[in-house]
């Protein structure tokens, strides 16, 4: 079992990292499954099979937006939802013969033993915000608990050197554990109603209205600007925001008023718009991949070693 998690309330890239890990396991021939608590979902079952490798059986209102995004990106990987991830794992093994379990957002789920405990840390000037625990800050638990990690990944770190002093500080926090760096890489711009997709370069010079309901809306805004989009307005909403029809109508009215070419949002937000997006042909979303920077081979060798030791035991 590989656990992917963080110390803060979001924004480090757990969902794209989970997708990356599951795709790698699938490519290597493992029978992978993603185990999620289904945050934000209103499901009542003890265990919900969100995706059975053929069909997606629930929407974001029931299963949560992030598990639904994972299920849509990983059609050949079961996604199992339960507040008790042990029961989710049993279901995955019994129904799908799973031998590679990925615990999504699992750093605080201490009841399960894992072969590899991965901690994601955003490589920003203040990766832990004001340093306070919820509700006065973004921390789920004290920073010193980073010592439980087997390895850490500094996300959104870029390809250049980290800010002065930041790398040494992060190294002290993880107490000598292996460190890796990753970046969120734009992959394509998708127009779901039109059934077309384009490279990220498509955004260069395009007049757009953008919106996002994620943990770090500013990160999405910055990405669009870096890609050269002419961003006429940007609306940020709280993470896991459930959009009302009047909000979408207001965004479309803003598009017409400003003479924008289309609306654009995140893939995670698009998942929540499934029921209404066909009414908005000028709506696009940006697909982001989680990409390890130099050190990728070392990282996956570490994962392989841990998993193979468990399979042989």
Phi, psi torsion values for 177, nearest 5 degrees? -75, 160
Do both 208 and 176 map to the same domain?
no
- In a shared domain, residues 54 and 25: yes
Collapsing DSSP to helix, strand or coil, 104 comes out as strand
- Residue 271's alpha-carbon distances to 97, 120, 134, 242, 268, in angstroms, are 28, 24, 28, 11, 5
53 and 148 part of one domain: yes
Does the pLDDT of residue 313 top 70, yes or no?
Answer: no
> How far is 264 from 297, CA to CA, in rounded Å?
34
Q: Is the pLDDT of residue 59 over 80?
A: yes
56 shares its domain with 193: no
- 198 shares its domain with 78: no
Is residue 149 within 8 A of residue 174, CB to CB? The reply is: yes
Same domain assignment for residues 115 and 232: no
Peptide bond into 138 cis (omega under 30): no
Residue range 161-177, pLDDT digits in tens: 666 677 787 788 888 89
CATH number at residue 248: 3.40.50
Q: Based on the fold, state whether residues 222 and 297 are members of the same structural domain.
A: no
Distance set, CA 311 to CA 20, 102, 292, 307 (Å): 21, 15, 25, 6
b/e map 289-299, b = 16+ CB within 10 Å: bbebeeeeeeb
Domain count, the chain: 2
- pLDDT single digits (tens) 275-304: 776 788 899 999 999 999 887 899 999 999
Residues 5 and 107 sit within 8 Å (Cβ to Cβ): yes
Sign of the CA dihedral 14, 25, 35, 4?
negative
pLDDT of residue 159: 66
Helices (H), 125-228: 166-173, 217-226
Say what percent of the chain tops pLDDT 70. Answer: 97
Contact criterion met (CB below 8 Å) for 18 and 28: no
C-alpha 50/C-alpha 55 separation (Å) is 8
Residue 192: φ, ψ to 5°: -65, -35
Q: Are residues 87 and 231 in the same domain?
A: no
Q: What range defines the domain where residue 274 resides?
A: 186-288
Q: What is the structure's pLDDT at 123?
A: 83
Is 119 in the same domain as 208?
A: no
Q: Quick one: 111 and 225 in the same domain? A: no
Provide the token pair at 278: 């066909």
Same domain, 6 and 151: yes
User: How much is the pTM?
Assistant: 0.93
d(CA 72, CA 57): 11
Looking up tokens 């290597």 gives: 28
- Residue from 116, 15, 120, 117 nearest 74 by CA: 15
Q: Where do we find the tokens 């013969």? A: 97
Same domain, 105 and 253: no
Q: What is the CA radius of gyration of the chain?
A: 19
Tell me the mean pLDDT in the region 211-221: 94
Cβ atoms 258, 235 nearer than 8 A: no
204 and 179 Cβ atoms separated by less than 8 Å: no
Chain position carrying tokens 């909403």? 237
């Amino acid at each position: 079992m590989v656990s992917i998690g963080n110390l803060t309330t979001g924004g480090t890239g757990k969902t794209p990292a989970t997708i990356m890990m599951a795709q790698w396991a699938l490519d290597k021939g493992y029978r992978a499954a993603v185990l999620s608590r289904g945050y934000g979902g209103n499901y009542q079952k003890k265990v919900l099979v969100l995706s059975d490798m053929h069909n997606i059986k629930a929407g974001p209102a029931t299963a949560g937006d992030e598990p639904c995004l994972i299920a849509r990106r990983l059609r050949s990987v079961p996604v199992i939802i339960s507040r008790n991830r042990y029961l989710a794992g049993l279901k995955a093994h019994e129904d799908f013969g799973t031998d590679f379990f990925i615990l999504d957002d699992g750093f605080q789920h201490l009841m399960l033993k894992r072969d590899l405990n991965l901690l994601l840390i955003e490589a920003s000037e203040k990766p832990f915000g004001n340093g306070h625990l919820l509700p006065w800050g973004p921390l789920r638990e004290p920073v010193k608990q980073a010592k439980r990690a087997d390895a850490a990944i500094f996300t959104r770190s870029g390809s250049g050197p980290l800010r002065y002093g930041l790398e040494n500080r992060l190294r002290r926090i993880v107490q000598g554990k292996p460190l890796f760096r990753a970046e969120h890489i734009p992959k394509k711009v998708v127009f779901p109603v039109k059934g077309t997709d384009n490279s990220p370069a498509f955004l260069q010079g395009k007049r757009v209205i953008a919106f996002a309901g994620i943990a770090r809306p500013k990160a999405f805004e910055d990405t669009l600007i870096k890609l050269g989009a002419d961003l006429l307005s940007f609306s940020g909403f709280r993470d896991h925001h459930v959009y009302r029809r009047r909000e979408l109508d207001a965004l479309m009215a803003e598009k017409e008023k400003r003479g924008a070419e289309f609306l654009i949002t995140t893939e995670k937000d698009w998942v929540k718009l499934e029921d209404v997006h066909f009414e908005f042909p000028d709506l696009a979303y940006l697909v982001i991949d989680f990409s390890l920077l130099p050190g990728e081979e070392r990282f996956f060798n570490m994962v392989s070693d841990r998993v193979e030791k468990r399979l042989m035991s």
